[in-house]
């Protein structure tokens, strides 16, 4: 079963946090991990902003998001 874009974003950040505790999700990571998506800004980054409004991600700067405790809990 395929994961939604939101779940993939949360899983990507959780995997990156295991390697680097200061892991962030940004456009560069989105371009690398979502190669088949044509409009990164209109789809993937919009989902990241929605996750931030739902308190699963926290916006640290423009286009940069980190995982929150609520986001970590929803992945596991």
Here the CATH number for the domain that contains residue 14 is 1.10.10
Q: Is 55 left (phi over 0), alpha (psi -120 to 50) or beta?
A: left
Residue 37: CB partners within 8 Å, gap ≥ 6?
Answer: 43, 44
Question: What is the extent of the structural domain holding 28?
Answer: 5-75
Count how many domains the chain has: 1
- Which pair of structure tokens corresponds to residue 64? 């940069």
Ordered per-residue pLDDT tens for the chain, 76 residues: 578 999 999 999 999 999 999 999 999 999 999 999 899 989 999 999 999 999 999 999 999 999 999 999 998 7
| Angle at the Cα of 9 from the Cα atoms of 12 and 22, rounded to 5 degrees | 55
pLDDT at 1: 55
């Amino acid at each position: 079963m395929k994961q939604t874009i939101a779940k993939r974003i949360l899983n990507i950040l959780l995997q990156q946090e295991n390697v680097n505790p200061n892991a962030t999700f940004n456009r560069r990571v989105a371009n690398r991990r979502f190669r088949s998506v044509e409009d990164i800004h209109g789809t993937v980054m919009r989902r990241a902003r929605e996750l931030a409004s739902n308190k699963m991600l926290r916006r640290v700067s423009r286009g940069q998001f980190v995982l929150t405790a609520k986001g970590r809990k929803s992945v596991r």
